[in-house]
Each structure stands twice: as C-alpha cells, then as structure tokens.
Amino acid sequence: MSAPRITTVLVANRGEIACRVMRTAKAMGLTTVAVHSATDRQARHSREADICVDLGGSKAADSYLQIDKLIAAAQASGAQAIHPGYGFLSENAGFARAIEAAGLIFLGPPASAIDAMGSKSAAKALMETAGVPLVPGYHGAEQDLETFRLACERIGYPVLLKATAGGGGKGMKVVEHVGELAQALASAQREALSSFGDSRMLVEKYLLKPRHVEIQVFADQHGHCLYLNERDCSIQRRHQKVVEEAPAPGLSPAQRQAMGESAVRAAQAIGYVGAGTVEFLLDARGEFFFMEMNTRLQVEHPVTEAITGLDLVAWQIRVAQGEALPMTQAQVPLHGHAIEVRLYAEDPGHDFLPAAGRLALYRESAPGPGRRVDSGVAQGDVISPFYDPMLGKLIAWGENREQARLRLLAMLDEFAIGGLKTNIGFLRRIIAHPAFAEAQLDTGFIPRHQAQLLPAPGELSDEFWEAAAQAFIQSQPALQRDDERDSPWAATTGLRLGLAAQTSLHLSCEEQDRAVNLAPDGAELHGEYLHRTQQGVRRQHRAIRQGDSLYLHWGGELHCIKAYDPIAAADASHSQQGGLTAPMNGSIVRVLVEVGQQVEAGAQLVVLEAMKMEHSIRAPEAGVVKALFCAEGEMVSEGSALVELE
Ligand code: ADP
C-alpha cells in the first residue's frame, strides 16, 4: 500500500497548541486549516491559519468537541489529516475512529491504544501484566464507600483518590485519615462526573515528596519504538504541572535507561504509534512507579525538542504517512538542558482563579538563541472564560541547567502583560528560588516554599510611588503626540518646562493608593524606560503607557498604575466588606450554610463549580450569615452576590 500523502492539515484545537502545530505544518509546506468557535473568530490561531472553518458556539461542548462538525470541516477544506492537539478530543477514541471511518488520518495513536490507556484503572491492570511497577492501590470495579474504606485501610493513609477517566488534576483528592474519606469521595465523584461524565474512582497510596518524571516515547508503524529521554515535571500546584524540564536533574544514565525501557514496554503492550508519554513517580530511593500514559502530544513537549533537536509534530506527520523513525535508540540526542514554564491568565493572589478579560498589554520576550515562546494570544485579544486560561509557554535552553534557568529568568523579566492578572510573578519567584536553582525538586516544592512564592502583598514603597508618579506624569498621552515629538512643548520633562505645574498626583496601584508629591527631578522617561538617578547611580525601569494605565517594572514585577478613582475604590471596598461574590461564571453545587447561622473565619459557605473545578467560597472572618442570594443548581455570573455576612 502506498503511503498516504498529506498536503493539508486541520488542527482541531485552539490557543498555543494550534499555533504551534500549524507552525511546523507550514514549515513542511502544508496548508493549514483552523477551526474556531464563534467566540474565537478573531483568535490568533484563526488569524494564522491558511483556511478557517467556523464551528459556531462558545462552550467547548458546542464547538471544539463537536466531532461531526470537525470532520465536515476537514472534508470541506480538503484536509487529509486532523491533529487533535492536547485536551479537547485528543484522547477520545471515538474521535479517532470517526476520523478513520471518514477516510481521514488521525495524527495520533490508533483508537485501540487510546482505549487501552483511557481509563487509569484499566491501564493499571494492563501495566501490571506487562511487568511495569505500580503504586500500591485499588483500581477495581466496586465503587461503594465501604470498598474504598477497606482499601484505604489496607494501603495506609494518606491516600489519593483519582478519577479513572481523569486528567488535569480534576476529581483528585488527598485524604489524610478515614474521617475525611466520605466527604472527599463524594466531592471527587461529583467533580469527575461533571468533567468526564464518569464518576468512577481509584485510590493510590499518596507518596510523600515524590518526583514526577515522565518518558517521551515515539513509535512508528513498523514496530519501532524509541524513548526520547525524560522530563521532570515535579513543580506542580494542586497536582498540575507549572514548570517542566529536561533532562531530569540527577537522573543517572542507568535510571534513564530503566525508565525508558519500561515506557517502551508499556507503549508496545498496547500497539502504540506516534507520540506518547509514560508518566512515573520517582521516590527518594530512586524507585519508580507507573502512573498513567498520555496518548497525545504533551504541553511540555518543547523541552524534549530543545534537548534532542527533533520536531515532534513533524515526526507525528511523517510517521502517519508511513515513514520509519530515522534513528536508533543509541542515536537519540541529549544535548544541554531546557526549562519550560506555563503562563496562565489567573490570579495567584486569589487562589489562582482563572482571569478573563482583554489583554490590554501583551509583549513577549525578545527572540534569541535558546529562547522559545509558544503562545496563542496577541495584544488586544480577549481571554474568554470558556476555555483553559493558558496563554502560552516560555522555554529556555542552555548548555547546562543554570544557563537555561538564567535565560528563562531574563525572558520572564522581558515579558510585559497588562489588563488581566497572570501568574508571571509567581513563575519568576519559582525560577529565581535558591531551592529551584539547586534542583531540589519534588511535588511538594510549591507548598513547601509557599511563603516566598506567594508573599502577602506588601505596602508599596515611597520610592515606588515617587517613580510611578514621575513616569505617570511624563507619559501622559497628551504629552506624547507623535506629530509634536520634536516640539519643546512635547518634551517629557514637563515639570521643568513649567507646563501646568502639577505638583501632587493621586495614584492607585493594586488596591493601594497614594497622593504623591512630585520631586522636582531625578527621573526622566526615555521612550519606554524611566531613568532614575540617585547618588550618582542611574537605574532603568521599564515603563509602558497604555491609555489611562502606566505599567512600571519594579522589584521584579510589572505594576499597573492609574489615576486614583474614588468611585471605583468605594465599589471595591463595598464588595470586600460583608458581600461575598462569585469569582467567575459558574454553577452553585452546594450551599453549606443557612441564614442566621454563626460561622467561623475560613468556614466553607458555598461551593461553586466553574471551569470544571470546584471552588469554595469561604468566610473571610467570623460572622453571622445575614442573607443568601443563591441556591444549589443555580447558575451565577461573575461578580454576583452569593452570601452576605455580618
Ligand atoms: P492527572 O491525569 O489528573 O493529571 P495524574 O495521575 O497524572 O493526574 O497525577 C497528577 C500529579 O499528581 C502527579 O504528577 C503527581 O504529582 C501527583 N500524584 C499522582 N499520584 C500520586 C501518588 N500516588 N502519590 C503522590 N502524588 C501523586
């Protein structure tokens, strides 16, 4: 049979991964087809594709998860192959089968391999027989509380409940002792049902301080399977990866080989073809245990690409056309070190709630050797609450780990994002942390260093306010008109020229405000940099003006400064006192209090489900429930009042 020719590829995804897949497809001379929801009509992946097909709808279920529409889009646009990206339908065997049934090529493994690994419990049973080591646990069919109680007793607390259909940390709960089991099981089952339409659970011994080390495997259609080294993804928050790197620091060549060969056995046991990842937990003694296999391209694949020099998407396309893998195991390169961070629109100051809104400012780090940015957004784009809030990934490569780490820090410093909250400061604090620099990696890293990684917002310094005022006044749009740039009236040192002599400014920044008296000089704005001179030392701070906001880089973070608005401030303080509002659009799954009830500080009041995760609304301080504005099952919108406390 002659190999099928692929000339046009449809990407059934959005955001950074859609852009990333299309980049390789274009470089291979292929035509790219994007699909998009109604909300994503102007999204970057739609803009970058050669051909676009509108799926309509907003929610994933009405757009990116519509198998029939995706296949019709491929047929209408002349695509022979569909790349699923990650998430959405990437591990849906039904999608793979429907694509094949339509005579098209699925750029992923055979549907049977997806099925084999689709259920974590079935996968474990299979791996057990293939001789791959497992974490002690229970992954049977019985799902009643009593079965779990007995299983937990046998394996010993703490334990970890996991959704068998799970992914993305959803439906996962640590249980410390038997008293917590019933409630944790019920909550995990609810989350699993709403995320995956399947409430089945398994339970594992919860290993303390393990490392997450995963093996990238790649197989062709001729029975040849390679491992492309490992990635360490131990830096996690709530069991979700935040930082990934390759190779895993300290892993010996013998361990790499043992894990690699185990991963290849796992892939071969299910007739795998294409790119896949076998995830292991590595304990302090160097023993490793199979967790699961992801039958798709992973978010963190770029670190593997960086140390091997291979393009995994190009390999996916070539393998799908019947080509053989071009090297032997011994020829797989491992050169230097790479680190990736995941950039999210979320608010680390408020329990990492996803943020939605317009990217008023979005500047990426400058391109350069060893630097890679995979992103799916541009300045002015609107981040909608309908999809995963990941904006992109920053990947740095170096000859060694320290070089990669410092390069990544530089990239993080150059990034400038405004208009919505992101985790960029949090990422910077992780990468800059001495324990990270020393590669003290395990899954407890973030909780252990919580105090330094998520410091309580401190009072902004006098110096900051002074610099902010200088930059603010000098960047006033009226003084920055292009056509007047050469006029003495447009000079940014407005004060010295004696323009409307404003000597005091009332500014606000991150819920703080200050009336600042302007110092007569000492700071000058040159382009997008504020130069401050003190005792003969001149320092530069990035200062970017966007409309009524000034973004000032200070102390390793970008701060957004505005003219103080007393009305907005009054609104904000009202909503902070007493009234507890929905942090985002979602539905109320539980109301745990009644009107008149006395509650302690930190007590759970209401559970909101949004973006497929449960979020607890808690009492900020002790009080009495004065009013309830929501009921179980109700949909609520962001900002709407839920509970009033007195
Ligand atoms: P998901 O598919 O939802 O991402 P995984 O099974 O891949 O869930 O686990 C995610 C993370 O949770 C792992 O990377 C690891 O940090 C942690 N984890 C999973 N199982 C265990 C365990 N038995 N003990 C300790 N940590 C675990």
pLDDT tens for 114-129 read 999 988 998 999 889 8
- Segment 271-298 shows an average pLDDT of 96
pLDDT at 486 over 70: no
Q: Is 206 close to ligand 1, i.e. is its CB under 6 Å away?
A: yes
pLDDT digits 0-9 by tens, 568-605: 777 665 554 456 888 777 888 888 898 899 988 878 88
Angle at 508 between CA 503 and CA 512, to 5 degrees: 120
How many helices (H) and strands (E) the chain has is answered by: 18, 38
pLDDT band (50, 70, 90) for residue 617: confident
Determine the atom of ligand 1 nearest the C-alpha atom of 291: 6
Query: Which position has the higher pLDDT, 619 or 377?
Result: 377
CA 338, CA 534: separation in Å to the nearest integer? 39
State if residue 118 touches ligand 1 by the CB under 6 angstroms criterion: no
Q: Which CATH number fits domain 8-107: 1.10.40.50, 3.40.50.20, 3.30.70.270, 3.60.20.10?
A: 3.40.50.20
Instruction: Determine the CATH number of domain 136-205.
Output: 3.30.1490.20
Tell me: pLDDT of 641 over 50: yes
Of 158-167, 298-307, 397-406, 517-526, the one with minimum mean pLDDT is 517-526
Check whether domain 463-473+503-564 has CATH 3.30.70.100, yes or no: no
Look up residue 563 and give its two tokens.
């003219």
The predicted-structure confidence for 311-342, as pLDDT tens digits, reads as follows 999 999 999 999 999 999 999 999 999 999 99
pLDDT at site 431: 98
340-350 pLDDT, tens digit per residue, is 999 999 999 98
Would you state the pLDDT for residue 497? Answer: 46
Q: Which of 237, 281, 287 to mutate to test the pocket of ligand 1 (most atoms within 8 A of CB)?
A: 281
Domain 577-645: assigned CATH number: 2.40.50.100
pTM of the prediction? 0.88
- Which residue of 135, 172, 280 sits with most ligand 1 atoms within 8 Å of its CB, as the best mutation to test the pocket? 172
* pLDDT at site 67: 98
- For the CA of 135, the closest atom of ligand 1 is 23
Structure tokens at 418: 């405004």
The pLDDT-based confidence of 501 (bands split at 50, 70, 90) is low
Indicate whether residue 210 lines ligand 1 (CB < 6 A): yes
Res 571: pLDDT = 62
Q: What is the pLDDT of residue 614?
A: 75
Question: Domains of the chain: which residue ranges?
Answer: 8-107, 136-205, 211-453, 463-473+503-564, 577-645
Please determine, for residue 82, whether its predicted confidence score (pLDDT) is greater than 90. Answer: yes
Residue-wise DSSP of 550-594: EEEEETTEEEEEEE--HHHHHHHHHHHTTEEE-SSSEEEEEE---
With a 6 A CB cut-off, is 166 part of the ligand 1 pocket? Answer: yes
Count of residues for the chain?
646
pLDDT at residue 577 in the model = 47
Cα(594)–Cα(643) distance, integer angstroms: 10
Each residue of 165-189: pLDDT tens digit?
A: 988 888 899 999 999 999 999 999 9
Taking phi over 0 as left and psi of -120 to 50 as alpha, with beta for the rest, 612 belongs to: left
State which CATH number among 3.40.50.2300, 3.40.50.620, 3.30.470.20, 3.20.20.70 fits the domain covering 211-453.
3.30.470.20
Nearest CA residue ID for atom 18, ligand 1: 239
Report CA(239)–ligand 1 centroid distance (Å). 6
Residue whose tokens read 């056309």: 321
The protein residue whose alpha carbon is closest to atom 23 in ligand 1 is: 206
What is the token pair recorded at 396? 């740095």
Kindly report which listed range (60-64, 109-113, 252-256, 600-604) carries the lowest average pLDDT score. Answer: 600-604
- Is the CB of residue 173 below 6 angstroms from any atom belonging to ligand 1? no
